Structure 1
Amino acid sequence: MSARAAVRTPVVPRGPWALSMRWHDLLFMHWPVPEEVLRPMIPGSLAVDTFGGSAWLGVVPFRMSGVRPRPLPAVERISDFPEINLRTYVVGADGEAGVWFFSLDAASRLAVRLARTFYGLPYFDARMSCHPEGGWVRYESVRTHRGAPPARFAGRYRPRGSVFEAAPGSLEDFLTGRYLLYSAGRGGRLMRAAIRHRPWPLQPAEIDVDRLEMTSPVGLEEPSGEPLLHFARYLEVVAWFPEEVG
């Protein structure tokens, strides 16, 4: 589906938001991939979203804090943890663009189980760390989920350049301007949940990768070539519970 055909503005969800959180030191790593490679892995009711004739595969490490359900307060050590996800971009039958996650690893057993239960997302337990290292962000993740295929990421990254907002219609807007996530609910039902946040405060970035083993567990080859990189230092986000797509 072309970039122009999809709607990437924030949706207007029904009812109050369900979750509040903060995202820190986030890195977007993206590679163009042929649409036909991802098509068998996406539900038939969704179109693979493309830009410049390519689908896009993303690996996104970051750190979360203050994660809390409405109306409860955040709890130290429970509400703060790293997460890394493997994703692509899709469009629903009504033209609403969103994110499709192949996997999400998190260093919170509670968050993993709640996300699996209430959002139908493929979350996995992992041993993870994310901390500053001389101007860089040092990040490591090793999946520990019982019975799940192994997945690992290790490296360091940092911003390189001024903060900017993605221009409407640009590749940066296509990759980051997403306000819906799609997932498979019970019985294979297609679900989607809305999120809200201000435009991403993006920066160009660089990375030193020690290990990237995120795609083979879902049947994809490891990405080749240099990724397109964008960094975001901080963003506040609210999310709604998913609803079945009619």
Structure 2
Amino acid sequence: MSFEPSLSPPTGWPLMRQRWSQLLFAHWPVAPELLRPYLPARLTLDLFEGQAWLGVVPFTMSHIRPLGLPAVPGLNHLHELNVRTYATLDGVPGVWFLSLDATLSLGVWAARTLFHLPYLHARMSLAETSGTLRAVAQRTHRGAAPASFRANWTPGAALPKASPGTLAYFLTERYHLYTAGPDLRRAVGSRTLWRGQLYHEPWSLREATLSEWESTVVESHGLPTPAGPPLLHAADTLDVWVRELRRI
């Protein structure tokens, strides 16, 4: 079953607004049997032409505010680094996160407690110098497997809008997420799921060139180091509406 995102904001009362910037999608093809154990039984691993995909995505989240309320200084900006794959339930495709390392302690607490997402405390910087972006992260979450990340990339020429049926569309145009709790090991065995809905305009993607990549965030989950260079898509700044998670 195909799913097309709405071209207007979702009905109902959105929970908050965010702005995503300095974002890089880095993806590798992965054998489905490697990722299947990291999803709950109710979810189906989403495949593109029979192939599963694993992503690592650093970005900056800013202008965070509940709808109808002003942003709170010191609580409206963070850097994030997530490890993801893709899943479906009842024909609705979404993102399944293995981990989301982030810098804002209160934000990590809120995401774990209120949204049941596997956020982890981390130190992270992400800055641009002369057109090149540099992200550095170190996981600090107590009890979590250690992980570090360091990457430099330069966004390049604009790419055409991703069309349904293409790999770029499959990897980036995701308007739902699934979660089963903040502890991935327990979440995999859970029958309880939540599905969250996002709204944003289609991604404006760009070519990207890596000049440095050192990462153990994938390996921290017990997965092997991805083989070969990643498929890269840099992304322009995007405003996002976030809806509450609904138990399904």
- Does residue 182 of the first structure (1) align with residue 178 of the second (2)? yes
Q: Which runs of 5+ in 1 are unaligned?
A: none
Contact kept, 8 Å, 2:24 with 2:57, in 1: the verdict is: yes
Distance 1:109 1:202, change over 3 A: same
CA distance in 2, matches of 1:74, 1:158: 30
| AA at the equivalent of 2:218 | T
The structural deviation recorded for 1:134 is 1.9
SS at 1:174 equivalent: helix
| AA at the equivalent of 2:193 | L
- Does residue 38 of the first structure (1) align with residue 18 of the second (2)? no
| AA at the equivalent of 2:123 | R
Deviation sequence 1:67-103 (CA, Å, 0-9, x none): 11223211233211110100000000x1000000000
Counterpart mapping for 1:70-149 below 5 A: 70-92=67-89, 94-149=90-145
CA distance in 1, matches of 2:6, 2:27: 22
Which deviates more from structure 2 when the two are superposed, residues 122-131 or residues 152-161?
152-161
Aligned to 1:243: 246
The structural deviation recorded for 1:232 is 0.7
Aligned to 1:219: 222
Contact kept, 8 Å, 2:10 with 2:199, in 1: the verdict is: no
CA distance in 1, matches of 2:181, 2:233: 31
Contact kept, 8 Å, 1:22 with 1:67, in 2: the verdict is: yes
| TM-score normalised by L of structure 1 | 0.93
Deviation sequence 1:13-53 (CA, Å, 0-9, x none): 56210011000010000000011111111111110001122
CA distance in 1, matches of 2:161, 2:15: 27
CA distance in 2, matches of 1:51, 1:139: 29
The structural deviation recorded for 1:199 is 0.2
CA distance in 2, matches of 1:6, 1:43: 22
Contact kept, 8 Å, 2:149 with 2:216, in 1: the verdict is: yes
| AA at the equivalent of 2:237 | Y
RMSD of Structure 2 on Structure 1 (CA):
1.7
Deviation sequence 1:209-233 (CA, Å, 0-9, x none): 3411111221211211011000112
| AA at the equivalent of 2:122 | A
Aligned to 1:29: 26
Aligned to 1:198: 201
